[in-house]
Amino acid sequence: MSFNEDKIADFIYGRLLKFSHLKTERIGNAIVSRVTGSSKLNVILAGHIDTVLPNGNENPVFKAPRLYGIGACDMKGGISVMLKLAEDVISPKHSITYIFYPTEEVGNADNGLLKLHQSNEEIFSAAAAILLEPSSSVIEAGCQGVLRFELRIKGERAHSARPYMGVNAIHRSLSVLEKVVDFGEPKPIVEGLEYHESLQCVFIKGGIQGNVIPDEVILTLSYRFAPNKDSVAAKEFIRCYFEDLLDLSLGDEIQYADVSASALPSLNNPIIKELKDAVEKVNPKLGWTDVALFQSIGIEACNFGPGDAELAHSSSEYVTKEQLEECYVVLKDLLSDQEES
């Protein structure tokens, strides 16, 4: 689980230290292992080693051909592929940096990849990065951005027996919620890929007591935006979308709580293009991953890993041997010199 990665970090570090072709170091609970290739290019393979909280699946169960358990899909399957590649790819075509990092399943401020970059920027020099998030062994390009914000809808307190003396903030919030429902599911096309957007209300807070007209309602919303918008454009879109419903004279306002940037598909990157040619299928990433973090520091990246992303965080998540082998073979062929592969 997040913030409790010591044992898995111990295991990964101990395993990688056994191989003389690797230069391995541990930085907190992040493990960085490198091997030199024949070209001047460097490729990063990255994956997080934490999981969400268990949901009755803390004990692994193998029912052929599926291995069930917390994090089996998201993303111990990808971590397993990385470990096997680190062991087997001794003389790679390009230099490889394997990054195993903690605390991804939490807020941005605690993201282990971000903290590693902040303290060890020299590690992050690469022509491309491949994030082994579950993607059914096809490329999931780019990712959605996430904007979390609060709509504070104001009113005026009054006795509930005399509502005409006040303004009911809960009643005023109805038109805002209808606007959220009417958002639908826009599907922008970015670099030929169809992304989905969504706007959802995830929390509502309001009311004082049974005989008082409430003077404030706080709606917490999540906006998943396509990579045709950056964070600034996403905020401006939300401001314009709700502008006509907000009464500034009453004190209505939008407060932005957190934003995670989107990431472009980057399909023209030479290494990602080579991977695309090998798997012959690309899907847009519906969700946020650290591909966006890589893009923010100037490294084009994509998602490519074993397992079905729709199972992630569920009580029934699993990975299969076939999924692991399929992903492993593609990446080994991509990274190895011909004579080694």
Please state the rounded mean pLDDT for residues 189-197: 95
Average confidence score pLDDT of the chain: 95
230 is catalytic: no
Q: Which of 104, 105, 133, 197 is labelled catalytic?
A: 104
Please state the rounded mean pLDDT for residues 311-333: 95
**H-assigned helices in the chain:** 6-16, 77-88, 112-119, 169-181, 231-242, 270-279, 291-296, 321-335
pLDDT in tens, 11-54: 999 999 999 999 999 999 999 999 999 999 999 999 999 999 99
How high is the pLDDT of residue 337? 80
Task: Provide, rounded to the nearest whole percent, the portion of the chain with pLDDT above 70.
Answer: 99
Measured from the Cβ of residue 268, the count of other Cβ atoms closer than 10 Å reads 11
- Residue 66's DSSP bridge partners are 63, 320
Sign of CA dihedral 92, 95, 100, 106: negative
Q: Are 153 and 252 in contact (CB under 8 A)?
A: yes
How high is the pLDDT of residue 280? 84
User: Given a cut of 70, is residue 297 above it in pLDDT?
Assistant: yes
* Top CATH class, 145-260: alpha beta
Q: Are 123 and 34 in contact (CB under 8 A)?
A: no
Residue the block writes with tokens 């541990």 = 26
Rg (CA), the chain: 23
Q: How confident is the model at residue 97 (pLDDT cuts 50, 70, 90)?
A: very high
User: Given a cut of 90, is residue 177 above it in pLDDT?
Assistant: yes
Q: In 3-state terms, what secondary structure has residue 119?
A: helix
Closest Cα partner for 136 from 279, 266, 265? 279
Please state the rounded mean pLDDT for residues 126-139: 96
Q: In 3-state terms, what secondary structure has residue 112?
A: helix
Q: Are 143 and 197 in contact (CB under 8 A)?
A: no
Q: Backbone phi, then psi, for 62, in 5-degree steps? A: -105, 115
Task: Provide, rounded to the nearest whole percent, the portion of the chain with pLDDT above 90.
Answer: 91
Q: What does the domain layout of the chain look like in residue ranges?
A: 6-142+263-335, 145-260
pLDDT in tens, 72-96: 999 999 999 999 999 999 999 999 9
**CATH annotation of 6-142+263-335:** 3.40.630.10
How high is the pLDDT of residue 339? 54
Please state the rounded mean pLDDT for residues 61-75: 93
Q: Are 160 and 210 in contact (CB under 8 A)?
A: yes
pLDDT in tens, 204-235: 999 999 999 999 999 999 999 999 999 999 99
CA distances from 286 to 77, 128, 135, 260, 283 (A): 20, 21, 11, 14, 9
Distance CA 243, CA 232 (A): 16
Q: How confident is the model at residue 107 (pLDDT cuts 50, 70, 90)?
A: confident
User: Given a cut of 50, is residue 168 above it in pLDDT?
Assistant: yes
Length of the chain: 341
Q: Which of 5, 50, 105, 216 is labelled catalytic?
A: 50
Closest Cα partner for 97 from 330, 323, 301, 310? 301
Q: How confident is the model at residue 109 (pLDDT cuts 50, 70, 90)?
A: confident
How high is the pLDDT of residue 341? 45
Residue the block writes with tokens 């966006």 = 292
Q: What predicted TM-score, i.e. pTM, was given to this entire model?
A: 0.90
How high is the pLDDT of residue 188? 96
Distance CA 97, CA 102 (A): 16
50 is catalytic: yes
Residue the block writes with tokens 């998030």 = 133
Q: In 3-state terms, what secondary structure has residue 150?
A: strand
Q: Are 155 and 250 in contact (CB under 8 A)?
A: yes
How high is the pLDDT of residue 338? 65
User: Given a cut of 70, is residue 247 above it in pLDDT?
Assistant: yes
How high is the pLDDT of residue 108? 80
Q: Are 134 and 77 in contact (CB under 8 A)?
A: yes
pLDDT in tens, 255-288: 999 899 999 999 999 999 999 999 989 999 988 9
